[in-house]
Amino acid sequence: DAKTTQPPSMDCAEGRAANLPCNHSTISGNEYVYWYRQIHSQGPQYIIHGLKNNETNEMASLIITEDRKSSTLILPHATLRDTAVYYCIVRVADNFNKFYFGSGTKLNVKP
């Protein structure tokens, strides 16, 4: 089952950075942290993932604490189109690498 805890909702002003936290205190050493987002009635969209180092791509940055028990997804300049439910997922480290979704954070970007 999901090994993550996220706040149910957050607000962010358009143009500002959105910082979405995630707790995964029971994460194992070989389990990755993934972030996806889901815009209403669509399939989830991959954002970024990491193991222990901070990661950055064209969409976002992922900051993982040194003890790996929590992470933060950063959208540097949020736009109205970033309004979505953001899911932090710990990928199960077995042969299937399953993804179990928690309840996610609804990010509301406001003008």
DSSP strand pairing (84-90 vs 105-110): antiparallel
Give the whole-angstrom CA distance, residue 39 versus residue 12: 16
Q: Are 32 and 89 in contact (CB under 8 A)?
A: no
Instruction: Report, in Å, the least distance between residue 46 CB and other proteins.
Output: 6
Residue 37 tokens, joined:
């987002």
The smaller minimum CB distance to other proteins, of residues 56 and 103, is found at 103
The smaller minimum CB distance to other proteins, of residues 82 and 104, is found at 104
Query: Is 100 near other proteins (CB under 8 A)?
Result: yes
Instruction: Report, in Å, the least distance between residue 101 CB and other proteins.
Output: 4
For residue 36, give the 3-state DSSP assignment: strand
> Which of these segments, 13-21, 63-71, 76-84, 96-104, binds other proteins (CB under 8 A)?
96-104
Exposure string for 71-85, b = 16+ CB within 10 A, e = fewer: bbbbbeebeeebbbb
20-59 residues near other proteins, rule: CB under 8 A: 32, 34, 36, 38, 41-46, 49
Task: Provide the binding-site residues for other proteins, judged by CB under 8 A.
Answer: 2, 32, 34, 36, 38, 41-46, 49, 87, 91, 96-104
